[in-house]
Copies of this chain bind each other. A is one copy, B any other.
Amino acid sequence: MTESIHKTTITDLARELQLTPSTVSRALNNHPAISAHTKQLVQALALKRHYQPNRIASSLRLGHTRILGVLIPSAEINFFGSVIHGIENVARQNDYSVLIFQSNEDEHFEQQGVQTFLRSRVSCVLASLAKETTHLRHFTELKRRGVPLVLFDRVSDELDVPSVVVNDYQGALLATLHLVQQGCRRIAHIAGQQHVPIFHTRLQGYYDALQQLGLPQDDTLVVYGQVTIESGYQCMRQLLELPEPPDAVFAVEDFTALGAMEALKDAGISIPGDIAIIGFANEAFGKYITPSLSTVDQQTIRMGEEAARLYFDYAAKGSFYETPAQKVVLDPVLIYRNSSLRLDSG
């Protein structure tokens, strides 16, 4: 289709310069055994003829594509958009390209994605698992074939491959400590479903922070929600009905925090004066609501950069699967905003 325009090849250049394709190829790739004169000649003509090397032919010959296959649940989710941003920037610096495939949280699509990457002969697959993924065969298949695989964010411990995640535990710890530092003493936690690993981890971080500070652990201060705005609202109402309500709330993520804030506003309770609030994830809206929402940033761009770097580091060292799989754990970053700042110094 639509292939009327003739594309210049090294053969064309060779013919015009009375050389062989091999020499032209070498000259273009800056091979040491080619005279400076010839190189100049070839490169000048290549420019003049608008020569563009055919990567397909080159890939076929070389056996690899310089393409990173990125498998994500959805590009529409901000988190993954940022990760793509990070990956693509590092890829570009290494003269690699990025192929995108969305699983749309469907295991079947995920398998299809792996297959597409296999067929495209990508140099590496960077993946974040779909929520509903139960079987990991398609990923072990990649490994079996020697295709480098790096996991990020939604990882699996069963798969023994390099990965990068954010330290949820530490994020929860820091968030809780921060509230105490602001003078709060009865810190509540609106938790998520405990079968989801990250939500469970955040609860642990919350508990351990209290323990580290010698604060009592009051189980009435922990309520379990559904990780939605509405659920955050309900959970907050529940906390307000306590005989001794909290003076601060650490919400498992920002939407929950938002719901909690709405409940407080409706009840005429001041934030952070009466009750301080902190969320988790640094969603885009947090900066714009009133009061602005303190939260824990998950370093999404860096996550993408690190994932890509993991591949390049291994590739530089030689083979990918002969080194033990490195697990990069990113430190989350506290974002101090008005919903939790009671003192002047954050």
Q: Which residue of B lies closest to A287 (CB)?
A: B285
Taken together as a complex, chains A and B put the C-alpha atoms of A144 and B7 apart, in Å, by 11
- Set of chain B residues within 8 Å of A52, measured between Cβ atoms: 115, 118-119
- Please judge, given known A-B contacts A5-B144, A89-B102, whether A65 and B56 are in contact too, CB under 8 Å: yes
Taken together as a complex, chains A and B put the C-alpha atoms of A271 and B218 apart, in Å, by 41
- Set of chain B residues within 8 Å of A59, measured between Cβ atoms: 56
**A278-331: which residues lie under 8 A (CB-CB) from chain B?**
283-285, 287-290, 301, 315, 318-321
- Set of chain B residues within 8 Å of A120, measured between Cβ atoms: 55-56, 97
A206 at the interface (CB under 8 A from B): no
Taken together as a complex, chains A and B put the C-alpha atoms of A85 and B100 apart, in Å, by 10
Are B146's CB and A2's CB within 8 A? yes
A5-B146, A80-B81 given; 7 more Cβ-contact pairs under 8 Å:
A3-B146, A5-B144, A52-B119, A56-B65, A76-B85, A92-B101, A97-B100
Q: Which residues of A contact B (CB under 8 A)?
A: 1-5, 7, 50, 52-57, 59-60, 63-65, 67, 74-78, 80-82, 84-85, 88-89, 92, 97-102, 104, 109, 112, 115-116, 118-121, 141, 144-148, 229, 255, 258, 262, 265, 283-285, 287-290, 301, 315, 318-321
